[in-house]
Amino acid sequence: MARTNPITFFQQVRTEVSKVTWPSRNEVVISTIMVLVLVIFASLFFLAADQIISWLVSLMLSIR
């Protein structure tokens, strides 16, 4: 395996990073909001599912 000079390595990294198409600020904000909304919906869904399953189990076992 060929060893790369650290200076050459960082030059190559800088070249590759300049080729990256970075998202705009608006795209990042919209994506972040979408993720947060979906996480909230998923959390509420699993909270409701957990409560229903807990209620059914306690009903079947007459723990109440």
Which pTM was predicted? 0.67
Residue 62 has a pLDDT of 85
Task: Tell me the pLDDT band of 20, cut-offs 50, 70 and 90.
Answer: very high
Residue 7 has a pLDDT of 92
Asked if residue 26 has pLDDT above 60, the reply is yes
The two three-digit tokens of residue 52, written as one number: 């229903």
Please report where in the chains the tokens 């800088």 appear, as a residue. Answer: 14
Q: How many secondary structure helices (H) and strands (E) does the chain include?
A: 2, 0
Please state which of the ranges 14-18, 29-33, 50-54, 60-64 shows the lowest mean pLDDT: 60-64
Residue 2 has a pLDDT of 72
Please report where in the chains the tokens 């076992």 appear, as a residue. Answer: 61
- Name the residue ranges covered by the structural domains of the chain: 38-64
